[in-house]
Amino acid sequence: GESVGLHLPTLSVQEGDNSIINCAYSNSASDYFIWYKQESGKGPQFIIDIRSNMDKRQGQRVTVLLNKTVKHLSLQIAATQPGDSAVYFCAEIRINAGNMLTFGGGTRLMVKP
């Protein structure tokens, strides 16, 4: 079936380095892609989104890149900090499917001091 998935289940980076978390998707009809961060014991927290007609969007220390040709999405975190340690999910939404997110499997980011 249609799905949104992740390449790497665990990513370990050194504090201060940049992190790149990848996500593959299969549904070309997606309207938006969203990255969420989930810390232990908490619900997912919105990080950044990108509309399907965009290639790149930047936020504070984060950048999302969308490559529609290969159906690939990435989240780049600059100068990774210990507080960035969490599980990161990509999600997609189709507006005509209602307010429903389809989540990928998640990548655990571990930041080494």
Partner 1 sequence: KAGVTQTPRYLIKTRGQQVTLSCSPISGHRSVSWYQQTPGQGLQFLFEYFSETQRNKGNFPGRFSGRQFSNSRSEMNVSTLELGDSALYLCASSSSGGPPANEKLFFGSGTQLSVL
The CB-of-63 to partner 1 minimum distance in angstroms stands at 16
The CB-of-80 to partner 1 minimum distance in angstroms stands at 23
DSSP 52-100: TT-SEEE-SSEEEEEETTTTEEEEEESS--GGG-EEEEEEEE-GGG-S-
Q: Is the dihedral of CA 97, 55, 4, 20 positive or negative?
A: negative
Which residues contact partner 1 (rule: CB under 8 A)? 31-32, 34, 41-46, 49, 51, 89, 91, 93, 95, 97-106
The CB-of-79 to partner 1 minimum distance in angstroms stands at 24
Closer CB to partner 1, 34 or 77, in the complex: 34
